[in-house]
Amino acid sequence: MFKIKCAGIYKIENIKTGYYYIGLSVDIFARWGSHYTGIKSKTHSSTALSEHWSQTDAQDWSFSILEHISLSEYKRLSQLKGKALENSFRKHLIKKEREWMKMHSVNLALNKDNKYFS
């Protein structure tokens, strides 16, 4: 059996209230699992997301990929390798995450301390 990794920007949204959390990951599917585990164990880094989740029904939440970002394509274009590739790709993901956050209303954000919103 093999595992498919998908890097990019994702959104966790309460479809009834409109509250959402935007994040980035080099492995979105694994990150969704860790979000759920963190929320259920009350150890999630975003207390706002955890609190909102605990006050709503789990079926009210949707998980979606906003943008897939191919590591292999990024590697081909950047010509980087090793740690330099990892660091550059991470910075690229952060830039993309901020672009997506700017497209959304800060008022409904559940990211920890709205740290990336301006």
**Domains in the chain, start-ordered, CATH in brackets?**
8-104 (3.40.1440.10)
Q: How many residues does the chain have?
A: 118
pLDDT at 91: 93
Nearest to 110 by CA among 62, 65, 51, 56: 51
In single-letter form, the type of residue at position 112 comes to K
pTM: 0.83
pLDDT at 118: 39
Q: What's the rounded Cα separation, in Å, for the pair 31 and 13?
A: 15
Tens of pLDDT along the chain (118 residues) come to 556 788 999 999 999 988 888 999 999 999 999 998 998 888 888 888 888 898 999 899 999 999 999 988 999 999 999 999 999 999 999 999 888 988 887 766 777 655 554 3
Checking phi first, is residue 110 left (phi over 0); if not, alpha (psi -120 to 50) or beta?
alpha
pLDDT at 116: 53
Contacts of 9 by beta carbon, 8 Å cutoff, 6+ apart: 22, 23, 24, 65, 66, 67, 69, 93, 96, 97, 100
